[in-house]
Amino acid sequence: MKSAPATTTTKTARPTKVRGPPLGRFDRFTGFAFKVFGKQGKRLASSRPKLVEEIMKSNIRVTPEGLISVVLLCTAISTLIGIALLAVALATGILYFALGMLAPPVVFLVAWKSPKISQSGRSAALDNEYPYMIGFMEVLAGGGVSPIAALRRMAKMEKIFPAASKESKRILVDIDVFGTDPITAFEKAAKFSPHKAFTNFLFGYTTVLKTGGNVTDYVGMKMKETFDLRASKIKRTTDSIGTLAEAYLTVTSVLGISLFTLYQTQAILTRSSSGMSSLFLFSFIAIPVISFLFIWILDGLQAKQPYVDMRPYKLFAYCLPLGALIYLLPIPMSYPLKVSIALISTVLAPTIVTNRYTRQTRGLENALPDFIRDVAEGRKVGLPPEGSIEALATKDYGKLTPAVRKMASQISWGLSIGKVISTFVSEVTSWITKVAGTLMVEVVDVGGGTVKSFSEMADFTRKVNETESDRRAALRPFVFVVYMSGILLVFSTFTMVYFLSEPATVLANTPYTANLGLVAVDPGTVSILLVTSIFDSWIVGFVAGKMGNGAVSDGFKHALSLVTISIVSIYVTGLFIPIKFS
């Protein structure tokens, strides 16, 4: 009798889930928005066919349906918040809460135009690095490196060229990951690039490749064209900043004088402090807000470097509590002098540090073209790059001399020139010096530092230095306009206080006009008025720094100068115009 065969049960293995990279907050928010408004998003996306191209030109990574879903969700949330604030306004009678109803249209417009806004940011970031990017390609092209090989090297330089590195990676992803041929990848990058000059460069490069032209000559021609465009842009920027300087002078000085006259007259004749309160709001709130807006506009107009030295700003943050402490201490001195000392204490140390860093940076940038030119001359007589640097150790290059001597010593110890220059680049804080040092490393690494490469690099650094010098020289005169604004604030305050308060004081103490209700202005009020003008001069100094040098940190010295001029002017003018202040 045969036994039944044993049945064995086999367990089927469950398929393992492959987890992708974790989603970011924006991705999760987009997914939620698509679940809520997915149908509406698809319908609206079909009516806006150019949205795909706008997204491709921006830094936003989302589908058109997802973006419109996010727009609708943000608008719905802001609408609910606006309705809640309107209900609070009706319940409490505080009409300021009703302004919350402006949130829905503002949020909708900002979210709807977010691809355009992102395009502007991407184009502006690349515009600041574009001349150096083309110069990098030109110098490497002199050593026989193709532009696509130069882009591969630039893609690894996120700290030196953050925007150009991203653009390079976009092209390399199409070539290396999706298998696109280089010409098609360049044409796609040109089509979806928001930067016009970079688009023209890529289209021209593909045309040269198709026709069999000389790529090196083309890159050199584009380099010359780029610096010509840079010079014309500096001129346009200078004209725009001149208009802004005149507008700022009008708003801060002329408008300030007019409002001061009206408010002071109201305070004296009506014996009411409402006019003075409005003047304080204008001085302590309106002027700083207007100055911040002007700095923001200037930041959009001026060319910026991707590297910002934050050390002066950190020191300024550390000095703010010192200024507050001086203001709160019961020091026996006049109120304007006490506030002036408090404001000076906040910017004195940052001014010293910023001036030292600026002199160091300018010294390096001015001496660098001469140093690279001398290295190129050494290459012409047959010296290797290492021998050229060692031979130049005894020459005076100003602020660059210690660095040159240190590089020569390291080379004599047997270190490679690439390691030596990389160490130099990591120690300096000037972005232009970092660019030149990095370019020198690439030139030596690619072609051993040919004579042509070093000569072209010397020309490039010289053009960059001349362009920066022209930019600073073109903007420097506008600093005097801002100084006039700060000085006029103090002078007009002092004279208006005298011409409006002195007659009222005399009439108030006369028996024939005592029944008119005129009141004498007390010294405390005069002190507060003078303090408002000193504080506004301090604020104006930061605008002068941004307008004259392109950096707010350069405004520390202008703020220090304007506050010092203001308090000295008050005491000197007081010798001729007798005004009492506590």
pLDDT digits over 418-433, tens only? Answer: 888 888 888 888 888 8
Tokens of 386: 């290492």
Predicted confidence (pLDDT) at residue 30 exceeds the cutoff of 90: no
Which pLDDT value is given to residue 507? 47
The answer to whether residue 226 scores a pLDDT higher than 50 is: yes
Q: With beta carbons less than 8 A apart as the criterion, state whether 518 and 504 touch.
A: yes
**277-286, 295-304, 396-405: which has the minimum mean pLDDT?**
277-286
CA distance 307 to 430: 8
Report the percentage of the chain scoring pLDDT > 70. Answer: 84
pLDDT confidence bin for 548, thresholds 50/70/90: confident
Conformational region of residue 517, where left means phi above 0, alpha means psi within -120 to 50, and beta covers everything else: left
Give the pLDDT of residue 267: 59
- Closest CA relative to residue 138, chosen from 123, 154, 126, 122: 154
**In angstroms, rounded to a whole number, what is the distance separating the alpha carbons of residues 53 and 32?**
24
Find the DSSP H helices in 476-508. Answer: 477-508
The pLDDT value given to residue 450 = 63
> What are the tens digits of pLDDT across the range 467-515?
777 777 777 777 777 777 777 777 777 676 666 555 545 444 555 444 4
For the segment 450-466, the average pLDDT, to the nearest whole number, is 74
345 has a pLDDT exceeding 90: yes
| Alpha carbons 102 and 37: distance in angstroms, whole number | 22
Q: What is the pLDDT of residue 551?
A: 83
Closest CA relative to residue 194, chosen from 112, 117, 301, 119? 119
Q: Domain residues of the chain, as ranges?
A: 25-112, 120-213, 231-358+474-574, 361-465
pLDDT band for position 5 (cuts 50, 70, 90): very low
For residue 362, pLDDT over 80 is answered with yes
Strand, coil or helix: 9: coil
pLDDT grade, residue 272 (50/70/90)?
Answer: low
In DSSP notation, 398-453 reads: GGGHHHHHHHHHHHHTT--HHHHHHHHHHH---HHHHHHHHHHHHHHHHHS--HHH
Position 321 confidence tier, pLDDT thresholds 50, 70, 90: very high
Residue in the structure block whose two tokens are 């022209």: 470
- Contact present, 244 and 294 (Cβ < 8 Å): yes
Tokens of 366: 């001015």
CA gap 570, 185 in Å, rounded = 66
- Fold for the domain defined by 361-465: Receptor-associated Protein (1.20.81)
Higher pLDDT: 263 or 132? It is 132
